[in-house]
């Protein structure tokens, strides 16, 4: 490992996140002590297109990242010479966007003579829960719900995960975004549906709960089609009722499967992660279900649920400790998967 002898509580990591439409940098010490966490959202740039435009995202990252990094270092109140390693999300995500953060991190690591650490964005979302909750005990079941992913993960220990279930089509956040777009609620869809649903009747329309009683996988594309068909047939329906009924259908399935997953592995805790974890109904139902089961529930703050670099700095610390630095000739990986392990903790697939 270049420039770093050991990884411990005093190891300071500068972390960068540019996998999608948030430009973020953070300074994290010892894997859990967040010294700064700066996030600059590009939502305004993409809103008029109704979704993230990859080319605009990459260019915006190039423009804003230097200032975001400077702010993260200055808010951490440290001198750059104190930084022991530089980390960046190297997948999954938009390739052009990822390359901006990866290139910046490598350049800084090379210049400062410290290790570079490439981080899996999905793994980082798992650490976001641990960053804010020191009462968590393994085994945990994490429901990771974002714009690109919907997964139930059995987390046996740090670095030991297996995927219990995942979506077979759309991600939960994607369903929120597509339904919101159809209803004319704007982008990003999740927060807009969440807000208008407060004024609606969640029992008004009985939308399907796909695969509710089958295993731990999810399917959301049929629900989206049901919403579209229903509104076309009933053009005068209240948008708030549609939003509330749709949200209820998504949350019912997410919570029912989380409970089933927690029971199947005898989990001691349930953790929410990913952008959809900001949803108010999901948070309330997830907490209620955990209480019913008598197990610990961890609901990271909204800032920690959505994309940020503090979670990248945390995951990087654990990766650096277990695997050492990432070679500077390692690229970016738009389709990177979570590195899972078998029951004995042996990695099931090789990734960079
Ligand atoms: O994790 P994230 O910030 O980015 C990805 O890695 O995808 O998640 C973004 C997703 C979007 O689909 C957005 O609509 C959804 O999270 N989201 C929500 C809420 N806030 C964000 N979905 C439902 N309710 C919310 N309050
Ligand atoms: Zn994310």
Asked if residue 220 has its Cβ within 6 Å of ligand 1, the reply is no
**Substitution site in 273, 306, 311 for ligand 1 pocket (most atoms within 8 Å of beta carbon):** 306
Asked if residue 278 has its Cβ within 6 Å of ligand 1, the reply is yes
- DSSP conformation letters of 30-84: TTTEEEEEEEEE-HHHHHTTTS--HHHHHHHHHHHHHHHHHHHHHHHT--GGG--
Q: How many CB atoms lie within 10 A of CB 149?
A: 22
1 pLDDT above the threshold of 70: no
**Does residue 254 sit in helix, strand or coil?**
helix
The whole-number average pLDDT for the span 62-80 is 96
Instruction: Give residue 233 CA to ligand 2 midpoint distance, Å.
Output: 35
Asked if residue 94 has its Cβ within 6 Å of ligand 1, the reply is no
Long-range pairs, 38-44, Cβ under 8 A, ≥24 = 38/68, 38/71, 38/72, 38/75, 38/309, 39/303, 39/306, 39/307, 39/308, 39/309, 40/64, 40/68, 43/187, 43/188
**pTM as predicted:** 0.91
116 phi/psi in degrees, rounded to 5: -105, 140
Q: Which residues contact 36 (CB under 8 A, 6 or more apart)?
A: 25, 26, 27, 71, 72, 73, 74, 75, 76
351 pLDDT above the threshold of 60: no
Q: Which residues contact 254 (CB under 8 A, 6 or more apart)?
A: 143, 145, 150, 172, 218, 282, 286
Asked if residue 189 has its Cβ within 6 Å of ligand 1, the reply is yes
Asked if residue 176 has its Cβ within 6 Å of ligand 1, the reply is yes
**Substitution site in 275, 301, 309, 312 for ligand 1 pocket (most atoms within 8 Å of beta carbon):** 275
Q: In this predicted structure, what is the pLDDT of residue 129?
A: 87
Query: For ligand 1, atom 19, which residue shows the shortest CA distance?
Result: 190
**Substitution site in 147, 273, 280, 308 for ligand 1 pocket (most atoms within 8 Å of beta carbon):** 147
The whole-number average pLDDT for the span 214-224 is 95
Q: Rounded to an integer, what distance in angstroms lies between the CA atom of residue 326 and that of residue 153?
A: 25
Q: In this predicted structure, what is the pLDDT of residue 342?
A: 67
Instruction: Give residue 125 CA to ligand 2 midpoint distance, Å.
Output: 7
pLDDT tens column, 285-327 = 999 999 999 999 999 998 999 999 999 999 999 999 999 999 9
Asked if residue 148 has its Cβ within 6 Å of ligand 1, the reply is yes
Instruction: Indicate the range of 93-102, 309-318, 340-349 predicted with least confidence.
Output: 340-349
Note the ligand closest to the C-alpha atom of 145.
1
Q: Rounded to an integer, what distance in angstroms lies between the CA atom of residue 143 and that of residue 25?
A: 25
Instruction: Give residue 322 CA to ligand 2 midpoint distance, Å.
Output: 23
Instruction: Indicate the range of 15-29, 53-67, 92-106 predicted with least confidence.
Output: 53-67
Per-residue confidence band for 85, with pLDDT thresholds at 50, 70 and 90: very high
Q: Which atom in ligand 1 lies closest to the alpha carbon of residue 188?
A: 14
Note the ligand closest to the C-alpha atom of 251.
1
Instruction: Give residue 255 CA to ligand 1 midpoint distance, Å.
Output: 17
Asked if residue 118 has its Cβ within 6 Å of ligand 1, the reply is no
Q: In this predicted structure, what is the pLDDT of residue 343?
A: 62
Phi-psi region of 211 (alpha: psi -120 to 50; beta: other; left: phi over 0): left
Query: For ligand 1, atom 22, which residue shows the shortest CA distance?
Result: 190
Helix 121-132 × helix 310-323 angle, to 10°: 110
Asked if residue 177 has its Cβ within 6 Å of ligand 1, the reply is yes
Instruction: Give residue 276 CA to ligand 1 midpoint distance, Å.
Output: 4
pLDDT tens column, 118-168 = 999 999 999 998 888 888 899 999 999 999 899 999 999 988 999 999 999
């Amino acid at each position: 490992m270049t420039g770093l002898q050991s990884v411990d509580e005093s190891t300071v990591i500068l972390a960068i996140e540019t996998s999608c439409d948030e430009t973020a940098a953070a300074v994290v010490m010892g894997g859990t002590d967040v010294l700064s966490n700066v996030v600059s959202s590009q939502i305004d740039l993409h809103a008029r297109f109704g979704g993230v435009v990859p080319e605009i995202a990459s260019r915006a990252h190039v423009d804003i990242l230097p200032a975001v990094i400077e702010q993260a270092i200055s808010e951490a109140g440290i001198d750059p010479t104190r930084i022991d390693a530089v980390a960046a999300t190297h997948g999954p995500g938009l390739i052009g966007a990822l390359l901006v953060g990866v290139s910046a991190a490598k350049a800084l690591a090379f210049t400062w003579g410290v290790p570079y650490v490439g981080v899996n964005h999905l793994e980082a979302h798992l650490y976001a829960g641990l960053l804010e909750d020191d009462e968590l005990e393994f085994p945990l079941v994490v429901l990771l719900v974002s714009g690109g992913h919907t997964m139930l993960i059995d987390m046996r220990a740090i670095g030991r995960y297996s995927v219990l279930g995942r979506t077979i089509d759309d991600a939960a956040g994607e369903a929120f975004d597509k339904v919101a777009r159809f209803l004319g609620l704007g982008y990003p869809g999740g927060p807009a549906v969440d807000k208008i649903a407060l004024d609606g009747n969640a029992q008004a329309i009985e939308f399907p709960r796909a695969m509710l009683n089958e295993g731990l996988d999810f399917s959301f594309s049929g629900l989206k089609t049901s919403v579209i068909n229903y509104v076309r047939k009933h053009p005068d329906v209240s948008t708030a009722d549609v939003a509330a009924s749709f949200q209820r259908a998504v949350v019912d399935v997410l919570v029912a499967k989380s409970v089933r997953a927690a029971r199947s592995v005898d989990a001691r805790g349930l953790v929410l992660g990913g952008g959809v974890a900001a949803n108010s109904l999901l948070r309330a139902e997830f907490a209620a279900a955990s209480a019913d089961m008598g197990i610990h529930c961890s609901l990271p703050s909204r800032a920690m649920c959505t994309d940020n670099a503090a979670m990248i700095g945390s995951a990087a610390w654990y990766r650096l400790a277990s695997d050492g630095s990432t070679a500077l000739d390692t690229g970016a990986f738009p389709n990177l998967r979570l590195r899972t392990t078998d029951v004995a903790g042996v990695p099931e697939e090789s990734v960079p």
